[in-house]
Chain A
Amino acid sequence: MTPLTIELPITEDDRRIARYTAAAIALTVAEAALPSPLPGIKPGLANIIVLVVLLRYGWRDAAWVSLLRVVAGSLVIGQLFAPGFFLALAGAVSSLAALFIAVQLPRRWFGAVTISLCAAFAHIGGQLVLARLWLVPHDGVFYLVPLFATAALIFGTINGLIAAHLIKRAHAG
Chain B
Amino acid sequence: MKAVLPDDLRDIFSKAGYLSSWYQYFKAGDWLVLLLGCALVVFSYTLLWRGGVADRAIVKRDGKTVIEISLNSARKISVDGPLGTTVIEVQPGRARVFSDPGPRQYCVQQGWLTRAGAVAICAPNHITLQLNGSGEAGYDSLNY
- Set of chain B residues within 8 Å of A143, measured between Cβ atoms: 48-49, 139, 144
- Set of chain B residues within 8 Å of A49, measured between Cβ atoms: 9
Assess whether B25 is in contact with A145, with CB atoms less than 8 Å apart: no
B66 within 8 A of A: no
A30 to chain B, nearest CB (A): 12
Binding site for A on B (CB under 8 A): 4-9, 11-12, 17, 22, 25-30, 33-34, 37-38, 40-41, 44-45, 48-49, 139-140, 143-144
**Residue from the list A23, A138, A157 in contact with B143, Cβ < 8 A:** A138
Interface residues of A in 144-173 (CB under 8 A from B): 145-146, 149-150, 152-153, 156-157, 160-162, 164-170, 173
Assess whether B140 is in contact with A140, with CB atoms less than 8 Å apart: yes
Interface residues of A in 1-40 (CB under 8 A from B): 16, 19-20, 22-23
Q: Name the prevailing secondary structure of the A interface residues.
A: helix
Q: A111-B25, A140-B139 are in contact. Are A146 and B49 (CB under 8 A)?
A: yes
A105 within 8 A of B: yes
- Set of chain B residues within 8 Å of A164, measured between Cβ atoms: 25
Q: Which residue of A lies closest to B4 (CB)?
A: A22
